[in-house]
Each structure stands twice: as C-alpha cells, then as structure tokens.
C-alpha cells in the first residue's frame, strides 16, 4: 500500500482546520448554555425565597397548602420550559459544531486502500 505525500498532507490540513472551527463554535455554544442555566438558577432561587417569605406570614395551614401547590405548579412549568430551551440549545450546538467537520469530510482523500476485488485462494494443507 503506497500513499502520495501530497494526498496525505491535504488529508491532514483540512480536518485540523475543521476541528478548530468546531471547537470554537462549541465553546461559544457551551458558554451560552452555561449563562442560560445560571440565569434560570437565579430566577428559581428568587422565586423560592419569595415563597418562603410568603409562608412565614401565613396564619392558616390551608393558605400554606395553596401557596405551596401554586409554587409547585409554577416551578414545574418553568422547569419544563427551561429544559426544552436548553435541549434546543444543545441541538443547535451539535449542528453548528459538526458543520465544519462534515463540510471537510467529503472532499478528503481516503487514507485507506480500497478492498481488493481479487478472490482469496483457499488455504490448503
């Protein structure tokens, strides 16, 4: 099996460039996801503190139960909306990260030799 040096050089340059571009894209996407998660955590903590303050002023158990059930419903809706948003961000991140790699892949020469079409002789004792 023999390789043309120019083919090997071309094979090594484009994937490296695609990898570095994908890495930069991934970094930006992960930073956006981290920022979004941080914002959600802050908002969730503030809502929890607000609930605690309201519960401290409650005189009847029925009022406390009502506040807690409203909070639980709101927290669940907020969480599902946030999970959907983060899922979409991860999906976009994956698509953006693989764009340069898939763009570089089809134009690359194969580093492997094509399988031989010659029949293999059976080994005889």
Q: What is the pLDDT of residue 11?
A: 57
C-alpha closest to that of 109 among 18, 3, 22: 3
Residue 64: the pLDDT is 94
Each domain of the chain, given as residue ranges in start order, spans 5-104
With 0.85 as the threshold, say if the pTM is over it.
no
**Residues 36/90, Cβ–Cβ less than 8 Å:** no
pLDDT of residue 7: 58
pLDDT value, residue 114? 57
How many angstroms separate the Cα of 100 from the Cα of each of 34, 51, 57, 61? 23, 47, 57, 59
Block means of pLDDT (10 residues each) for the chain, 125 residues, are 56 68 84 96 96 94 95 97 96 85 60 58 61
pLDDT at 85: 96
């Amino acid at each position: 099996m023999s390789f043309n040096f120019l083919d090997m050089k071309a094979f090594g340059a484009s994937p490296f460039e695609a990898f570095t571009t994908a890495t930069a894209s991934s970094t930006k996407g992960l930073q956006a996801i981290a920022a979004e998660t941080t914002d959600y955590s802050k908002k969730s903590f503030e809502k929890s503190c607000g609930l605690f303050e309201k519960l401290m002023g409650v005189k009847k158990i029925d009022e406390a139960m009502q506040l807690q059930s409203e909070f639980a419903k709101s927290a669940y809706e907020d969480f599902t909306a946030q999970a959907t948003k983060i899922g979409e961000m991860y999906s976009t991140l994956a698509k953006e990260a693989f764009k340069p790699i898939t763009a570089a892949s089809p134009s690359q020469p194969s580093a492997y030799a094509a399988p031989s079409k010659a029949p293999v002789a059976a080994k005889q004792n």
